[in-house]
Chain A
Amino acid sequence: MVRFMAIHNVPGITEEQFKQKLDGVSKWRPDRRTTILKVYADLDRGKIISECEAAEQQHFEDWIGMVGWNVESIHSVDVVCQVGNFWTF
């Protein structure tokens, strides 16, 4: 499994529209090997960052296609620091 993150530009997105994209299990886990771990949204600027664990990037891209958010860039994640713990991938 690989960790990915994507930066999206979705100008004008509202909180309601954001929630509507993610409010069911199948919307954030489209299949059992693809999980959207966390999604951050700056609604004022239309900037969204999504984080995904998947077997391959194409599965993440399939999810992005499903939500329909414009993608600025997609990255594979090498290392995470979370509350003082370092996790290397």
Chain B
Amino acid sequence: MVTLDDLLNMSPEDILTYNERPDDAGIRNKTQLYFDDIEIGQELPKYIYRQTPTHLFRWSASIENFHRIHYDLDFALNHDKNPTILVHGSWKQSVVPQFLKDWTAPGGWPWKARFEHRAMLTPNDVLIMWGTVVDKSEKDGMGIIEREIGMKTHDGIESMPGTATVVLPIRDGKEIPYPFVPPKD
């Protein structure tokens, strides 16, 4: 697996070739990760995106957010003085649960996440959704994994620093309850 540092030393076009986001079949056939196998410092598969104006327009329509900075180039440039139209924060938010869910599937649980929006993202930015394991512990028979997460641009700007907590089963341990019931402290 290529590291985040490796990606940030590549050209945007080369970064695009290292997308590790699984396709539908990859998710359906995914082998369960277990708490026992996770090491602190471990990097997660990186999801690579490059949003186009068409993606932005489609997202605006899908969520009925018709703020013109997201699809009207004339307005975005000349009224709001932005560098171009801007990627939606809500789209970035939508990546986080997918990123967490994919890693814990099929039997784990993406418990919680927090993050901040700190940079404007524009079409043609190459975006890297990344995560690193920073701590692990057992609670109530479940494996708790703490992660740092973020979405970096190809030029190294951290646009969405955050943290997340996900739950993985312990090998030969109990199943993670569904619906999820947080462990007792």
Contacts and interface: CB of A to CB of B under 8 A. Distances in A.
Partners in one complex: yes
Interface of A: 1, 24-26, 29, 32-33, 35, 37, 53, 80, 82-83, 85, 87, 89
Nearest to A34: B83
Interface string B25-61: 0000000000000000000000000000000000000
Contacts, number: 39
23 contacts: A1-B81, A24-B11, A24-B12, A25-B124, A25-B125, A25-B126, A26-B11, A26-B12, A26-B155, A32-B83, A32-B120, A32-B155, A33-B83, A35-B84, A37-B77, A37-B84, A53-B77, A80-B78, A83-B74, A85-B78, A87-B74, A87-B78, A89-B78
A77 to B, nearest CB: 10
Nearest to A51: B77
Contact of A25 (B12, B78, B119, B120): B12
A61 B125 CA distance: 23
Interface string B59-89: 0000000000000001001110101100000
B154 A25 contact: yes
Given A25-B125, A26-B12, A26-B155, A87 B119 contact: no
A66 to B, nearest CB: 15
Interface of B is mostly: loop
Nearest to B83: A35
Interface residues of B, number: 19
Residue in B78, B124, B157 whose Cβ sees the most chain A Cβ within 10 Å: B78
Interface in B109-168: 119-120, 122, 124-126, 154-155, 157
Name the residue among A24, A25, A37 with the largest chain B CB count within 10 angstroms.
A25
